[in-house]
Structure 1
Amino acid sequence: MAGWTAAPPSCESGDHDPELLLRMLCHEFRTPVVALAALTRALADERGPLTPDDRRELAALARDQADHLQQVLRQVVAASTGALDPAAAPEPTVPLGRILPQVAALVPAERLRAGTTRRAGACPVPARRTRQVLLNLVQNALRHGPPDGVVGVFAALRGPGLTILVTDEGADPEPVVEALRRPAPGAGLSGLGLWIVRRLLAVDGGRVTARGLRPRGVGVEVVLPVTRPAGPPPAGGPVGG
């Protein structure tokens, strides 16, 4: 099935409607809360001993998710002034490799397949927007794929862009394709995360496509324009299991 590319959502499509703002904020609270719950359960789990390095890594991931939640809370405070607009404040950049472990933490280790090339991991990306995009896509894959299905997160430099692919083992890509077609979010929280993804990517000139995979599965691909770093690739290996 051919992929469908989302056009950037208009900033005049009711973004500052109070009901829409409330739904957006409720949606964006969900992912960091789920991630924090999973990380704290892992820290408290006594069935398998954790090494000091494991505990430090889990604590660092929990801190990152807490920081993300604080950013969402700041959006709540500022929403009435229009500061929920993703372009309202300057966005610091970080290497993509700094964000991927935060995203992977949402997925149980036995269900995760992830990897990035070294150059892709070193690519600078807008920190908050990219993290929010990937958290929404992974959470979407977890909700709509099979309960025990594998979720994939892969990144590579291809042509002029940074490509990030999130996959699940769902049977039908049409709900995702349909959600990406909507010029405005539907009622409730259904499809809202994909609408937010489009809105965030539009700020950076990115795009998102959805397609069916063979023999089975759904892939959502994000492409961000990047300036390739000069010089040899940085040290380090692929991310993920």
Structure 2
Amino acid sequence: MSGRNGWRAPLRARWTRPEPGPADPAALDTDPELLLRVLCHEFRTPVSALTSLTRALADDRLALTGDERRAITALAHDQAVHLQGLLRDAAAGTGALTPAARPVDPVAPLAEILRPAAALVPRHRLLARVTRPAGACPVPRCRTRQVVTNLVENALRHGPAEGRIGIHAALGRRGLRIAVTDEGRVDPVLVEALRRPAPGAGASGLGLWIVRRLLAVDGGRLRLHRLRPRGVAIEVVLPAAPAAG
């Protein structure tokens, strides 16, 4: 995955706030209503993506080429596997749904994880740059997919309607860095959502709370940057690539 880089942290980004505190590790154990809200939130993206992809396959007016049809079918399969994994985790009580110390999560190359998330963004709005070492880096398959998908959905929902969405990743001395950018602005609502120790009522901030919860399992961090001349970057930092196997 490659493209123009709209995020250059050393030159154009400024970390605007202290890192948020950890999410409440026991919240889901004591709040069945929150568990239901988490399930509904996490199921929303794969269900919507499957609806759009299968609609495209069924639309005779699109005159898809064979390569396009195969690509859409592959993306639909990825979303179906993701949904199946969420259902399995819900039944087993793992992943984002319980505060297990380190649930078993098979690893996969980051590039494989990013492709379905990038497919959520219309092509004319997508900016992506993933270095080769970062793309080959093994990451927890389910947790990382949920993290990146939630961040992309957040950018699509809260950024400008036709603004560019960036997905960037690089591997350095401090670990794996993944950033999702949009052309919006840092506002108090976003800062509060990133700092809140437990999710508020309704769906507001729930996706970011889930992201923080998932990152905590792998010792990851979430950082907020203000981009210059405009834009927001939410950066995930994983301390080291998990060992394959």
**What is the TM-score when the length of structure 1 is the normalising length?**
0.86
Match of 1:34 in 2: 48
The one-letter code of the counterpart of 1:187 is: A
Match of 1:148 in 2: 162
Match of 2:202 in 1: 188
Aligned in 2, Cα 1:86/1:13: closer, same or farther, shift over 3 Å? closer
In the alignment, the residues of structure 1 paired with residue 30 and residue 190 of structure 2 have an alpha-carbon distance, to the nearest angstrom, of 24
Query: CA offset at residue 45 of structure 1?
Result: 4.2
In the alignment, the residues of structure 1 paired with residue 95 and residue 119 of structure 2 have an alpha-carbon distance, to the nearest angstrom, of 31
Query: CA offset at residue 28 of structure 1?
Result: 0.5
Match of 1:24 in 2: 38
Alignment of structure 1 residues 143-222 onto 2, 5 Å: 143-222=157-236
Query: CA offset at residue 48 of structure 1?
Result: 4.3
Structure 1 moving runs of 4+ over 6 Å: none
Query: CA offset at residue 135 of structure 1?
Result: 0.4
| Equivalent position to 1:84, from 87, 97, 101 | 97
Q: May I ask how many residue pairs the two structures share in their alignment?
A: 228
In the alignment, the residues of structure 2 paired with residue 211 and residue 29 of structure 1 have an alpha-carbon distance, to the nearest angstrom, of 28
Unmatched segments (≥5 aa) in structure 2: 1-13
Match of 2:70 in 1: 56
Alignment of structure 1 residues 221-240 onto 2, 5 Å: 221-227=235-241
- Is 1:124 the counterpart of 2:160? The answer is no
SS of equivalent residue, structure 2 residue 27: coil
The question of whether the paired residues in 2 share the 8 Å contact of 1:16 and 1:82 is answered with no
Unmatched segments (≥5 aa) in structure 1: 230-241
The root-mean-square deviation of aligned C-alpha atoms, in Å, is 2.2
CA displacement 1:159-209 (0-9 Å, x = unmatched): 231000101111334322210110100001110000000000000000001
CA displacement 1:207-231 (0-9 Å, x = unmatched): 00112211111110001122499xx
The one-letter code of the counterpart of 1:126 is: P
Larger deviation: 93-102 or 13-22? Answer: 13-22
In the alignment, the residues of structure 1 paired with residue 31 and residue 78 of structure 2 have an alpha-carbon distance, to the nearest angstrom, of 30
Match of 2:3 in 1: none
The one-letter code of the counterpart of 2:229 is: P
The question of whether the paired residues in 1 share the 8 Å contact of 2:78 and 2:116 is answered with yes
Aligned in 2, Cα 1:91/1:150: closer, same or farther, shift over 3 Å? same
**What is the TM-score when the length of structure 2 is the normalising length?**
0.85
The one-letter code of the counterpart of 1:118 is: R
| Equivalent position to 1:94, from 87, 104, 108 | 108
Aligned in 2, Cα 1:203/1:82: closer, same or farther, shift over 3 Å? closer
The question of whether the paired residues in 2 share the 8 Å contact of 1:212 and 1:219 is answered with yes
Query: CA offset at residue 49 of structure 1?
Result: 3.1
CA displacement 1:69-123 (0-9 Å, x = unmatched): 11222344345x9993264631100000111111001111111111200000000
Match of 1:239 in 2: none
CA displacement 1:109-151 (0-9 Å, x = unmatched): 1111112000000000000000000000000000001111111
- Counting aligned pairs with the same residue, the percent is 62
The one-letter code of the counterpart of 2:57 is: L
